[in-house]
Amino acid sequence: MQGRLPPSVRVVEVGPRDGLQNESVPISIATRIGLIDRLGAAGLTMIESGAFVSPKWVPQMAGTAEVLAGIARRPGVVYPVLVPNMKGFEAALALERSGVPVGEIAVFSAASETFSQNNTHCSIDDGLTRFAEVTRHALGAGWRVRGYVSVAFGCPYEGQVEASVVASVTRRLLELGCYEVSIGDTTGVATAGAVRRVFDPLCTKIPAGQLAGHFHDTWGQALANTLAMLEFGVSTVDTSVSGLGGCPYSPGATGNLATEDMVYMLHGLGIHTGIDLDRLVDAGSYISAVLGRPVGSRAARARLAQRERAEGQHRSTPGGRARKVADE
């Protein structure tokens, strides 16, 4: 049932994992650490920091253990990692036993059988069975587990996905022990109408506090889709700094919703995030420069243009020019 917008929103930053996993440019461990540290300094309290997956399939996530060991951890900030199977869990557990905390992992399913086969080489049921073991061991280790449902609004192979399937997979992930499930528009095809079609029945069966949204911006609808979701009382949204990301198993899908754009919209609505937009813009500029591309956020580009104009005005004043000369 739609209602008022929430007074605050929890932003889950997925750039260092979901954002970087599909990049073709090699990204050093030091750069990944630098990005995560900048995001923490900007006020993000949940930063998905890597994945314990095979480097053969996702080479950009190689060295996740070194990344987690190297970041400057901040009080109150969580650094979850994606763990797709028991081999990944064992790697995460070995890291924690070495003295580097893990604390939270993420597992993922899909709302389409064909996508599940292409993404994880198994059926939805088989994947959930696999995750049941991972989740059981993770909970036993005292970790929290977050779930994802991919292609919840449209599959690149099957087309529109039934809302009942999304609800069923979501419920099963919660039954496994996930404290929250993020509903993903992996291909970025959703509209506000599609969001209402999925979240309306979903929120009648599952508390909004156990749900999140994850929208890609392929068709330029991610902000509108997030706003439509917030009207159902769901107050957690996944975003990626500078709009990084895509999905290697979803042909044509572009980046995630840019964190900077989301934060700018939320602040404009008077919704609290605890995030410093200027520091966030700096984090996006940092990783974009490494990747050799312009920043992927419209809000970031606008803020950077404001800074350039302000600097230009400063230099044009007699005092400003004198100070600049003195600095030189």
pLDDT tens sequence across 147-162: 999 999 999 899 999 9
Residue 247 catalytic?
Answer: yes
What's residue 328's pLDDT? Answer: 36
Distance CA 182, CA 66 (A): 27
pLDDT at 321 over 50: no
> What are the residue boundaries of the structural domains of the chain, listed by start?
10-296, 300-328
Please state the rounded mean pLDDT for residues 193-215.
97
What kind and span of H or E run contains 64?
helix 64-70
Place of tokens 């969001």: 195
Averaged pLDDT of the chain: 93
In the structure, what pLDDT confidence band is assigned to residue 322 with cuts at 50, 70 and 90?
very low
What's residue 319's pLDDT? Answer: 58
pLDDT at 257 over 50: yes
- Structure tokens of 53? 């997956």
pLDDT at 131 over 50: yes
What is the pTM for the complete model shown?
Answer: 0.92
Under 8 Å between Cβ of 68 and 100 = yes
Phi, psi of 195 (to 5 degrees): -60, -45
- Structure tokens of 266? 């939320």
178-199 burial, b at 16+ Cβ within 10 Å, e below that, comes to: bebbbbbbbbbbbebebbbbbb
In this structure, of 126-140, 162-176, 224-238, 303-317, the range with the lowest mean pLDDT score is 303-317
Write the CATH number of the domain with boundaries 10-296: 3.20.20.70
What kind and span of H or E run contains 36?
helix 29-41
Q: 155, 178, 203, 247: which is the annotated catalytic residue?
A: 247
3-state secondary structure of 23: coil
Report percent pLDDT > 70 for the chain.
93
What's residue 253's pLDDT? Answer: 59
What's residue 248's pLDDT? Answer: 59
pLDDT at 263 over 80: yes
What's residue 104's pLDDT? Answer: 98
3-state secondary structure of 113: helix
